[in-house]
Every structure is written in C-alpha cells, then in structure tokens.
Chain A
Amino acid sequence: MIRVVLPYHLRTLARVGGEVKLEVEGQVTQRSVLDALEACYPVLRGTIRDHVTQQRRPFLRFFACEQDLSHELPDAPLPDAVATGAEPFLVIGAIAGG
C-alpha cells in the first residue's frame, strides 16, 4: 500500500481527508504512483502533471524520505520505504503568500 500526502487544495478537490492510500501494480515510481492516484481520483488529472506533456506542474515538488525527488526521472524507482508504505510520497505546493 502506497501512502500519498496531497496539498490541501487537492485534498479538497478530490474530497479526501488525510493521506491517500493506493495499490500500485509493478514497480513503484513517480509515474506509477501518479497513474494510480489519477485512476482513483480522476478529478486530479491535469492538476499535478500537465495533461499532454505529463510534466510536473512548475509550482509543485515531490518529496519522500527527506529527499527532493522532483527532478528524478518519472520511471525511476521510489525509495523502498515509499514502496513498502513505511514513508509517504509527498506532493508539495510551493510556498507563497497572497
């Protein structure tokens, strides 16, 4: 079971409370986790990755296990602790005021 922590506005949009728990088939990567997330919560399509290019939206970052994984390749394996559910995969919005 993969644990994903979404920023507040995406939790509201997807109508979920705390962490999201996902089943991910095969290798656990950014792409497979986000595919599983969007399959469960279709309204999130286009909000984390661009619809067409599948690039991460510029004001979002991916963290896990105290590492910034934002610039890892989408098919690179995520840390074992994420794959086993010991640690969550964090989708973080850039801090900004206003």
Chain B
Amino acid sequence: MSSVRVLVGTRKGAFVLTSDGKRKRWAVTGPHFGGWEIYHLKGSPVDPNRLYASQTSGWFGQIIQRSNDGGKTWEAPGGGMTTAPSGMPVVESNKFVYDTSPETGKPLTTHQWYDGTQHPWEFKRVWHLEPSLTNPDTVYAGVEDAALFRSTDGGQTWQEQAGLRGHGTGPKWQPGAGGMGLHTILLDPSDPERIYIAISAAGAFRTNDAGKTWKPINRGLKSQYIPDPNAEVGHCVHHIALHRSRPSVLFMQKHWDVMRSDDAGDSWQEVSGNLPTDFGFVIDVHAHEPDTIYVVPIKSDSEHYPPKGKLRVYRSRTGGNDWEALTKGLPQRNCYVNVLRDAMAVDSLDSCGVYFGTTGGQLLASPDAGDTWAPIVRYLPAVLSVEVQTLP
C-alpha cells in the first residue's frame, strides 16, 4: 500500500510527517535542526530517500543538509575531512559564491536596492532546493540574493548558473519585503533543457538550453508598484506551478493577480475571476487533473491574513476564473495566519491529497482533493515550506 511523507520546513526546525495511504493517522518526527530556520526541504524523485534541506541562520549562515534514509539521519554533504594542499579541510556544501565577469573579474551585475540605487549581490540563504528529475546527485538551489546554483555531486559543491543574472536585466531586479529570493524552480519533465524560475521582485524567467541562456517571461503581467506596470522585469511573482503532463501550461500567484500561461510563459492572462481577493502566495495543481488548481487568498499586501478571518482554500476545476471556496474543516472565524509561497503541496495517491502549512504552525491536509480538511499538527513553529512524497 502506498504511503505519504510530508516534509515541513519551519522557522525553528524541520519536521517529517508520515502516514499510510488512508492519511488519517500520522507519525511526526522532529524538530530536526531545532532552532534553525529550515527554508525548504525536498526529496529526489529518483531516490525518494535522498532528501535535501536548506538550514539557515542569521548568525551562522547557510548549511545544506542531506539525508539518505528519508530523513531519519542527516549529514552536511562532504562534512567529513578532506584536506586541501594548504592543509585546510575542503568543505564547500555551504559555499555559494557568485560568478564574476571572466574578462574583468568584477561582479556580473548589480541590482536595484529598496531606495532605487544600485546594490551589489550578497548571498543570504537558500530559499528553495529542487532535485533533478533524473539524477539524485544533481540538485538546484534558488538563493537570496537571487541566483540559481546547481550541484552535481549531491550538494558537496555548488556552481552558479550565471546566465540568469548575466543576461542583462539584473540592474532592474529589486528585493521585496522578504528579500530578493529565487523561490521557484520548475523542471520540465518533458524537456530536460527547459527550466522555469521565479524571483521576487524580478519576475519569471525560462531557459531552453539547461541554464546557459535565459529570457524574462512576464508579458501580460501588470504591477502597479513599478513605474511601468507592464515592464519586462520587476514583477513580484510569488509562485508558479505546473502539471507534469502539460508543462507548457503555467499557473502563477503574483503579488496581486492569479495568472495563467498556455505558451510556456511567453504570454499571461489573468484568471483571478471570482476570488474574494487575488493577493496570495501559494498556488498548486491537482496531481491528476491538470486544470484543477488551488490558491489561498490573502486579504492584501498590507494585511497578510485571510479575508474576514476565514481560512479558505479556493479551487478552480477550469484552470482559473471560476473558483469555489473550500471550507470544511478549516477555521471560519478569528483566523489570521498566512500561507507562504512554498507551503502547499499535493500527493499523487488516487484521491489527490492537498497539504498546506500556516504561519500559525498548523499543517492542514485534505485526503479528498480539498473537499474536507483536518490538521495533522496544530502547534508547529511558523511553516515556511511543505513538500509531499508519495511512496510505493
């Protein structure tokens, strides 16, 4: 019988939740890395017991953790002793160094600071880890300040995919209130050369050549908080999702607006429809129905909680525009939590399970595609990310 493993990153550690296919009784382990911010953890589709975790701290910086047994034990990749000619150990699993110009040795580019001046790139943390669809030792990291790194040795060393920052629009990128993070990485299951990424606040970008060259894919987005609302870059994209059977169709939760693209991001149309508010962070797609999508509307960019204190997931079965509120089992009064951009995921059991975590520490699950909900746990630290593995 299949089972489910839910990987939860929080402000104060990681948690691993497991259940059989019924998804009624859950075992919870953690906190792993207690006291550290765990921005994201995710398993390899090729080897589900291979997990990667981003462990970060304002004091001690970035740590990458890896598990080979589904989260029971962890190690910093390459954390054992390897001595360089200088006599110093070589440990580079937490070394994220931006590329410089090969001609001048100077930084590739600067970005726009909050006050509009130019500012150098400074590494802060890894927001998102995306394991390869074909090789458990290959994993991508989306980082703040925004850049894409890749490891091909199981996280021991990282190399920037510098074509993204180097393509020319970097000086127009700017941080949002949460920093300038590359938070979304979508690998196209039908084309190993095609990758989508998203950055707050720069927008969405696509490569068709495995990361060598990139282009902004933001036509159709409108953002009133930038001087030219239709600009090529500068949009605060919160999250993008796709269904693996139809990877040229993208769904986006922007700062404001829920958007859809049917041409791999070349153009976007708004599909907010009858949502009570189209501000939000998460968006995800049903595992078996490519036109069934989920969002959690949040009141506004100034008030990061559900409208009227009612926590409602909205589901569209038509790929947007027509939305229904899902409320059974969700708090419908006095609820003022947020659901962050990487904190929703689905399983791929016959009856698709949907999961999301809140800044109030609740991990909510629906075993029936959103019709009914119940908390798996209620009192975790603020949830930063949720990923789900469906295990044989």
Contacts and interface: CB of A to CB of B under 8 A. Distances in A.
A51 B97 contact: yes
A59 B56 CA distance: 14
A94 interface: yes
A48 B94 CA distance: 12
Interface stretch (B76-84, B244-252, B294-302, B362-370): B76-84
A21 interface: no
Contacts of B36: 9
Contact of A43 (B34, B79, B87): B79
B88 to A, nearest CB: 7
B29 interface: no
Contacts of B329: none
Number of chain B interface residues as a range: 20 to 34
A22 B90 CA distance: 19
A49 to B, nearest CB: 10
Given A9-B57, A59-B58, A47 B63 contact: yes
Contact of B62 (A10, A46, A52, A96): A46
A38 B97 contact: no
Contact of B88 (A10, A39, A47, A52): A39
B35 interface: yes
Nearest to A59: B59
B95 interface: yes
Contact of A42 (B60, B89, B97): B89
A52 B97 CA distance: 8
Which interface residue of B62, B79, B88 has the most chain A CB atoms within 10 A?
A: B79
Contacts of B61: 46-47, 50, 57
A42 to B, nearest CB: 4
A60 interface: yes
A51 B61 CA distance: 10
B91 interface: yes
A42 B91 contact: yes
Contact of B82 (A7, A10, A42): A42
A42 B80 contact: yes
Given A39-B89, A52-B97, A93 B80 contact: no
B91 A45 contact: yes
A13 interface: yes
Contacts of A39: 81, 87-89
B314 to A, nearest CB: 32
B60 A57 contact: yes
Nearest to B82: A42
Given A12-B34, A57-B61, 8 more contacts: A9-B60, A38-B88, A39-B87, A42-B80, A42-B81, A46-B61, A48-B60, A59-B59
